[in-house]
Amino acid sequence: MRAWLAPVAWVVLLVALAALLPAMKPLFSWVQPGTNNVIYTRDSFYLLLQSHIWLVLMSATIGTLVAVSAGIFVTRPAGRDFLPLVSQIASIGQTVPPVAVLALAVPVMGFGEKPTLFALVLYGLLPILRNTLAGLGGINPAVLESARGMGMSSAQVLFKVELPLAGRVILAGIRTSVTINIATAAIGSTIGARTLGDPVIAGLVNGNTAYVLQGAVLIGLLALTTDSLFEAVEKVSGRAFLSSKQS
């Protein structure tokens, strides 16, 4: 239970802040004097938060499914020919900045949430794919040999041995991917998706630091919350054989 203490505290803080920001007008007036509009009111912070989380959650789910299946496929006998190609794509993809993916998606898919989702999925794929390959590839060959020698079918080897053993590494990949995508989703506001990036963009365009601050604080908090959630999951799932080494 103690592992969940930190993420719960972060969630409470995030929700509370989203509710309390409009009431903190004096503070923001001090940050941005000389104007009456110091609280972003075009949408409620809750709505933005919700839409932001939805985008990240959707992209992470799709990305995980695609990347893990691809990783599994290229490590089976049938797909092994594609392994060098896919692992090369996975590492090259990491060098493209997320903004570039977003910019490239617009001409193809127009403005709105769809291109944002597409860009998020695409960019989020790579860390998961890379970690899936590393996780599956890092399993001691003797363990796989004995699993087969015991009489497990290929599916049983995959689900009972390979995925559980690679799970922690794959989870770490998902964690990286989601954390990056929380930041990238905010940039989605530039192409018309409704996210916590809205106040930031509006603030930058209108020269309103208060707006920027409100968006940025919530995005930062969301990233911290998510990260501590993953940390808790990793701790709980890895507790059983914490110090086990695959050698």
| Residues forming the site for another protein (CB under 8 A) | 140, 142-153, 156, 161, 164-165, 240-241, 243-246
Handedness of CA 28, 31, 35, 41 (dihedral sign): negative
* 6 vs 219: CA distance, rounded Å: 18
* 101 vs 193: CA distance, rounded Å: 15
Closest to another protein by CB, 36 vs 243, is 243
Closest distance to another protein from the beta carbon of 240 (Å): 7
Q: Is 220 exposed, middle or buried (0-12, 13-18, 19+ CB in 10 A)?
A: middle
Closest distance to another protein from the beta carbon of 154 (Å): 9
Closest distance to another protein from the beta carbon of 80 (Å): 17
Closest to another protein by CB, 107 vs 149, is 149
Q: What is the DSSP letter of 43?
A: S
What does the angle CA 119 – CA 122 – CA 125 come to, to the nearest 5 degrees? 140
Closest to another protein by CB, 37 vs 140, is 140
Closest distance to another protein from the beta carbon of 85 (Å): 24
Residue owning tokens 């309103």: 208
Centroid of chain to Cα 167:
16
Closest distance to another protein from the beta carbon of 224 (Å): 30
Closest to another protein by CB, 69 vs 237, is 237
Closest to another protein by CB, 100 vs 150, is 150
